[in-house]
């Protein structure tokens, strides 16, 4: 492991004003997104959509530091025969790869899941590196509900995250460590804070046990937010204050940066929360975005599977990327105000 090179990549992933595009939706997930806009999901349509994003010159060169790809996508070529990973590199961004293989039920823990994919991961990482990937992602899913999460679920998922991260660094690939506490329940923000603190502390304990070099990784956590079904929804300032306090209590300063997941927040909510956190200032790590839906929902609708709408799709993607770039510097006001200022 060359830690200096890993750190160089990690720092580039959280470069000022830039964030990560999570374009790693599974075939099942992107089918649901395409169904919503009336587009048939097949290898060609998925390729065309992602090629549209990667050829968005302003968005990719100015606001996007890296792109997380799905296994299908990393091997695909654009219509002109250029590998999609090359399009990303040509835009000045770093190709990455989602390496977990989804979730399955955790034995003896009803309603809880474990992420799988460690078997033969070392061999897969070698092939991904040869293809151009310089970072990877593994997502652990922690749900909040009556009696859950259990210690078993939290520790088992934290252990798997740490094993994955160690294997990545051995393959000279920067691991994005993603322990996601879901926002699907009726819990309030304080319950989310409590569970996320538990999850992060266990995760960093396991990373220590697996001898993962913190300088060569990126953390991708959820924010401290109210559950979607909660009667009391926390405001932007409360989310920012509690998320920053949570991170200060749990995340060592050696970690180069934190790239948040949007986790089902609306486009503007995810941007507003990121902006408010960066306005607090005085943080030991860079705070940026690693959004999927919050960057892609608008361009998907604008594109709608039609070649005549490529420019409109790219424009929508560039706008959302720019808004989040501003938020990563604490310079966003609102979409409307920012548009007027421009």
CB 179 within 8 A of CB 221: yes
Torsion angle of the four alpha carbons 212, 20, 35, 56, in this order, in degrees rounded to the nearest 10: -150
DSSP 142-190: E--BTTBS-HHHHHHHHHHHHHHHHHHHHTT-EEEEEEEEP--SS--HH
Q: Is 178 a catalytic residue?
A: yes
8-60 pLDDT, tens digit each: 999 999 999 999 999 999 999 999 999 999 999 999 999 999 999 999 999 99
Distance of CA 73 to the CA centre of its chain: 17
The correct CATH number of 3-341 out of 3.40.50.2300, 3.20.20.70, 3.40.630.10, 3.20.20.120 is: 3.20.20.70
pLDDT along the chain (342 residues), means of 10: 97 98 95 96 97 97 98 97 98 98 97 97 98 98 97 98 98 98 95 98 98 98 96 96 98 98 92 97 95 95 96 97 97 70 48
H helix or E strand, kind and range, residue 33: helix 27-36
* Residue spans per domain, the chain: 3-341
Instruction: Name the catalytic one among 18, 98, 137, 220.
Output: 220
DSSP 331: -
Q: Is 339 a catalytic residue?
A: no
212-244 pLDDT, tens digit each: 999 999 999 999 999 999 999 999 999 999 999
Instruction: Name the catalytic one among 178, 180, 202, 206.
Output: 178
Q: What is the pTM of this model?
A: 0.95
């Amino acid at each position: 492991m060359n830690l200096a090179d890993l750190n160089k990549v990690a720092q580039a992933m959280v470069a000022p004003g830039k964030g990560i595009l999570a374009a790693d939706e599974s075939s099942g997930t992107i089918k649901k997104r395409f169904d919503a806009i009336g587009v048939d999901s097949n290898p060609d349509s998925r390729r065309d959509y992602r090629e549209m994003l990667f050829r968005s010159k302003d968005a990719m060169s100015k606001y996007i530091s890296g792109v997380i790809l799905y296994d299908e996508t990393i091997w695909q070529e654009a219509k002109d025969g250029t590998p999609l990973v090359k399009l990303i590199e040509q835009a000045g961004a770093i190709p990455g790869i989602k390496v977990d293989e989804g979730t399955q039920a955790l034995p003896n823990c009803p309603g809880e899941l474990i992420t799988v994919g460690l078997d033969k991961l070392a061999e897969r990482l070698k092939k991904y590196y040869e293809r151009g990937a310089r970072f990877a992602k593994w997502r652990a899913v922690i749900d909040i509900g009556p009696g859950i999460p259990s210690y078993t679920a939290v520790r088992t998922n934290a252990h798997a995250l740490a094993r994955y991260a160690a294997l990545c660094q051995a393959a000279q690939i920067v691991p994005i460590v993603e322990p996601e506490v879901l926002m699907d329940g009726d819990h309030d923000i304080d319950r989310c804070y409590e569970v996320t603190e538990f999850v992060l502390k266990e995760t960093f304990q396991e990373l220590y046990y697996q001898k993962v070099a913190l300088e060569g990784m990126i953390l991708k956590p959820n924010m401290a937010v109210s559950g979607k079904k909660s009667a009391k929804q926390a405001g932007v300032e409360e989310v920012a204050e509690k998320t920053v306090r949570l991170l200060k209590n749990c995340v060592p300063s050696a970690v180069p940066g934190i790239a948040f997941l949007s986790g089902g927040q609306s486009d503007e909510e995810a941007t507003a929360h990121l902006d408010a956190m960066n306005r607090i200032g005085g943080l030991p790590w860079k705070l940026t975005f690693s959004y999927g839906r919050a960057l892609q929902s608008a361009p998907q609708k604008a594109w709608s599977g039609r070649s005549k709408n490529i420019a409109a799709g790219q424009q929508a993607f560039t706008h959302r990327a720019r808004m989040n770039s501003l938020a990563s510097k604490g310079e966003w006001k609102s979409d409307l105000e920012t548009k007027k200022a421009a």
